[in-house]
Amino acid sequence: MSEKTDVIAASMIGTIIEWYGIFIFASGAIYIERTFYPSVSVAEGLLLTLLTFALGFITRPVGAYVFGHFGDKLGRKKILLLTLLISGISTGLTGLIPSEASIGAMAIVLLVVLRLALGFGLGGEWGGAMLLTLETFKNRRGFYSSFVQSTVGIGLLLGIAIFIPLVYALPSSFMYSIGWRIPFLASFVIVVVGIFIRLKVKETPVFEAEKKKNRILKSPEKELFTKHWKKIVVGTLLAGSSGNFFYFAIALLPVLFENAKKITILDGLIGTAIFGILDVIFVFVGGQISDKKGRRVIIAGANLLALIVLFPSIYLVGFGYFVVFLSLFAVAHGLSYSPLGAMISEIFPTNVRYSGNSASYQYGNSFIGGPAPYVSDLLGTIGYALYPVFTLIFILIALGVIYKSKETDKMSLEEPDSAYIEY
């Protein structure tokens, strides 16, 4: 492979594992619920499973802090090798946990511990992967960020490609006992491939230039939180809105309608697969357009589309409607995702960029996006019309933030701090 291809592959492989691990947990939620919470009702078990899903986001900010610190001090490549190992191994080990019927409450403890470990590793994965591309290629950053951002759809499709044949071909009893574990165990193979790919790439030229200028900070996080905290707020709210309507679509809607017997499990997987295909396509569309028209207009338009789709998606029920609304959510998420990744990396100087983009992205997904399925389901138990309210609030906030934000697409990643946008 060429050096450019090596960098793209290295940036993508870890985030593929990240999203693969998230999606197989969401796709297998109905099986995981019976494995680890068999003593409660299905509705209560689903709520507990979604809570377990949300717990995986608690340690993401910790990972963002730790790996961002060392990524800004030691370089992007070294940290990305470590985050890949943590994320991939914790996902694989989930498939080896005995059921609650076998070892009691310890099964739930192990499940939560591995979710926390996964979140810790993922806290530093996305930020480093994004910088590996943006700081290597520098120009057409919206387009090159699309390769990292496309791993959402790719990871989803990879998980679905394993799950659909299993659901279709294997007896239901086998799926509930062993079958759901197979996709988790497959992540061990992806880790081995990923380590091989990442060992081949070099450190980014932008970071190397920063070292030569003796601009590496002793405490990058101190600089970040004292001088650039407003940028973290902007990045957190924008990433949070995108993550919120994304998880509402792919983690809550399928399980909600499967539980209500409005669609089958296979219908849910098919709809989610269509989401993944469209997301990959529109990630590249959004990235390309944002290099020409700017980041802000694309992010604003995508949030408006999600806003329009939000309430109809819970009232117009049935497989056809389900696919249509999931497709529209996919278009909205795909369009915004590359401009978002580029923008929340571009607003930070090089010597705090790993810490800054990781904090923004992980805070947004940990505190706003990741909890969306659980909080929405909890609100839905109070009143059906309340399911979309949590997501609605953050879409409206994001529209206000992007209106007040400044454009970043023409900025150089190598200019001194004084040239960077201040909020």
pLDDT in the model for residue 418: 44
What total number of domains does the chain contain? 1
Of 207, 226, 203, nearest to 215 (Cα)?
A: 207
The CATH number covering residue 209 comes to: 1.20.1250.20
Per-residue pLDDT 10s for the chain (423 aa) are: 577 888 999 999 988 888 888 778 877 777 888 888 888 787 788 778 878 877 888 899 999 999 999 999 998 888 999 999 998 899 999 999 998 888 988 998 999 999 999 889 989 999 999 999 999 987 889 999 999 999 988 988 887 788 777 767 777 788 888 888 888 998 898 889 989 999 888 888 888 888 888 888 888 989 999 999 999 999 999 999 999 999 999 888 888 888 778 888 788 888 888 998 999 999 999 999 999 999 999 999 999 999 999 999 988 877 888 899 999 999 999 999 999 999 999 999 999 999 999 999 999 998 999 888 888 888 888 888 888 999 999 999 999 999 999 898 888 887 645 445 666
CB atoms within 10 A of CB 338: 32
The whole-angstrom separation of Cα 129 and Cα 10 is 8
Mark 281-312 as b/e (b = at least 16 C-beta within 10 Å).
Answer: ebbbebbbbbbeebbbebbbbbbebbbebbee
Parent domain of 304: 3-419
pLDDT in the model for residue 255: 81
The two structure tokens encoding residue 398 = 């994001």
The two structure tokens encoding residue 419 = 């040239």
The two structure tokens encoding residue 349 = 């100087």
Question: What is the sign, positive or negative, of the torsion defined by CA atoms of 294, 300, 303, 304?
Answer: negative
List, in sequence order, the alpha helices (H) in 294-385: 295-310, 312-315, 319-346, 350-364, 372-382
C-beta separation of 241 from 397 below 8 A: yes
